[in-house]
Amino acid sequence: MDRKTKETLAILISVSLLVNYVETMVVPAVPKIQEDFGTTSTLVAWVTSAFTIVGAAVSPVFGKLGDLYGKRKIYLLSMTFYTLAVVLAGFSPNIDFLIGARAIQGLGFAMFPLSLAIITDILPPEMVATAQGIISGTMGIGTALGLVVGAYIDQDLGWQYAFHIAFVISLILFFLALKLVPETGVRKKAVIDYIGFSTLTSGVILLLVYLTQESSWGWFSVSSLSLLLPGLALLVLFGWYETRAQSPVIELRLMRIRNVMVANLSGLISGIMILALFYGVIYYTQLPRPFGLGLDIISAGLTLAPSTLVMFVVGPLLGRMINRVGPKPILVFGSLVMIGGFYLMIVNRTTSLDVTLDTIVAMVGLLSLMIPIVNMISVSLPPEDRGVGIGMNTLIRNIGSSVGPVITTSIMSSYQGAYVLPFGGTYIVEIFPDSTAFDLIFAVGIIMAVVNIAVSLTTRNYRLGSRKVEEAKAPQVV
């Protein structure tokens, strides 16, 4: 690997680390933001949802634009939106302004799939999986910093300073990226499919808003159906139109390549599993005993931090393993480890140390799914479709991530127990999710992992270190 490639890789890793840090440090700040702006819990939830929804919707769009106009150019554009939005968020005068800034920040989420596409372009095939493992592993370091460092900043300086500090780092990285990230890949000669872009983005946003608001509005309320039905109609229209468009956003024939299909299905399932795990653990650790562990926000973050740090160590190792044995065994292994992690959460969660060890197991399993998924998309698609392919996979994983909290909160609202507190000569009764709720949440994770094994077994295996991958040239349709 030459110096230029190392510099590019270092910048991409640093930016990914920053994004994961910022998006995690927002979470412990949400209660303080609600208090500062005197708003409702429903409205303040959009501080996190706005970023996720916009980021998911634009990932395939920005990926396609990267294929058309150059990944470097669109990467820097995405980074510009992100940097601008971070500084705006730190100076938000009200909750509506903050939510708007976070929505703009979501445009920066496309940096992650674009960086994976750039890495695939600049590295030899046998090094791609390792580099992707490093970038995926930065999610662990970024999450750990967000949960711990971010929580301290939110608590001691205020959530505004968390954004101010992130802006300074973002600005430095932007100028480094401007100087060091090269133009890569093969540009695809085509016209912009405005109808495809608009129907896909609108349909995805409506669907994700529906999933995000389900716990407040209900599955089949008028408000929910006013989002769900138009959203599904737009996605159906998108699928119909793309088969007839001169230059489609997504060539659906490429989505029928066996490993691309497997990666997308596994990505959807993995998204459900990771959010079921995170929501289950975060709620359980902070609920008062005997319903949970009764930890404060920082202590709960410290419980999760070791598992996220392990991801950064394990990521590159898994990347190397893909070169030796291929993605199929790693996918099956990851699903089995996830089963073990969820099972431990059912039978072994009495102390914070128990939860820490359980989540370490589960996060190793999760990373064993994420890296093969991304690698399969990267090597199975031709260079001119790589950006949109990775972006589409990112969208599908985010849809799964939106379903996970819906399942988790629905179970927690269905299985609850009473908590009686003495207060001023009388008693206060509070209702919290009980032990059965968390058992069921983690049982759902086990079921998802079993389904993922079945999906993983249909993978067409390859070894990048021993022979050239031919998926893109000779598609294997499911």
Check whether residue 212 and residue 333 sit in a common domain. no
First to last CA, the chain: 36
Q: What does the pLDDT read at residue 470?
A: 46
Q: What does the pLDDT read at residue 62?
A: 84
Q: Which residue has the higher pLDDT, 389 or 360?
A: 360
Instruction: Let me know if residue 474 belongs to a domain.
Output: no
Q: Which residue has the higher pLDDT, 103 or 35?
A: 103
Check whether residue 41 and residue 187 sit in a common domain. yes
CB 105 within 8 A of CB 51: yes
Q: Summarize pLDDT for 266-322 with one digit per residue, the tens.
A: 988 988 888 788 778 878 887 888 888 888 767 777 787 787 777 777 877 887 888
What is the domain-level CATH number for residue 447? Answer: 1.20.1250.20
The top-scoring range by mean pLDDT among 150-159, 239-248, 344-353, 416-425 is 344-353
Confidence of residue 140 (pLDDT cuts 50, 70, 90): low
Buried b (16+ CB within 10 A) or exposed e, 159-186: bbebbbbbbebbeebbeebeeebeebbe
How many domains does one find in the chain?
Answer: 2
Q: What does the pLDDT read at residue 333?
A: 95
What mean pLDDT, rounded, does the chain reach? 81
Residue from 78, 122, 98, 89 nearest 37 by CA: 98
Confidence of residue 35 (pLDDT cuts 50, 70, 90): confident
Burial environment of residue 222 by CB neighbours within 10 A (0 to 12, 13 to 18, 19 or more): exposed
Q: Which residue has the higher pLDDT, 341 or 291?
A: 341
The top-scoring range by mean pLDDT among 89-93, 411-415, 419-423 is 89-93
Instruction: Let me know if residue 328 belongs to a domain.
Output: yes
Check whether residue 391 and residue 300 sit in a common domain. yes
Check whether residue 271 and residue 407 sit in a common domain. yes
CB 255 within 8 A of CB 392: yes
For the beta carbon of residue 89, count every other beta carbon within 10 angstroms: 27
Bridge partners of 421, per DSSP, are: 428
Instruction: Let me know if residue 475 belongs to a domain.
Output: no
- Give the Cα separation of 191 and 209 in Å (integer): 30
**DSSP-derived secondary structure for 119-164:** HHHHS-HHHHHHHHHHHHHHHHHHHHHHHHHHHHHHHHT-HHHHHH
- Give the Cα separation of 20 and 145 in Å (integer): 9
What pTM, to 2 d.p., does this model score?
0.77
Give the rounded distance of the alpha carbon of 63 from its chain centre.
Answer: 16
- Give the Cα separation of 184 and 76 in Å (integer): 13
Chain position carrying tokens 């799939």:
113
Q: Summarize pLDDT for 180-203 with one digit per residue, the tens.
A: 888 876 556 666 777 877 888 788
Q: Which two tokens stand for residue 50?
A: 């706005």
Q: What does the pLDDT read at residue 330?
A: 93
- Give the Cα separation of 309 and 137 in Å (integer): 8
Q: What does the pLDDT read at residue 465?
A: 55
Domain range for 201 is: 193-246
Check whether residue 16 and residue 58 sit in a common domain. yes
Check whether residue 236 and residue 252 sit in a common domain. no
Least confident window among 122-131, 370-379, 455-464: 122-131
**Which sign, positive or negative, has the C-alpha torsion 469, 471, 476, 478?**
positive
Q: Summarize pLDDT for 192-234 with one digit per residue, the tens.
A: 777 877 888 788 778 777 776 665 666 677 877 888 888 889 8
Check whether residue 120 and residue 65 sit in a common domain. yes
For residue 289, the surrounding DSSP H or E stretch is: none
Name the domain boundary from 246, 265, 284. Answer: 246
CB 303 within 8 A of CB 295: yes
Q: Which residue has the higher pLDDT, 176 or 2?
A: 176
Check whether residue 66 and residue 202 sit in a common domain. no
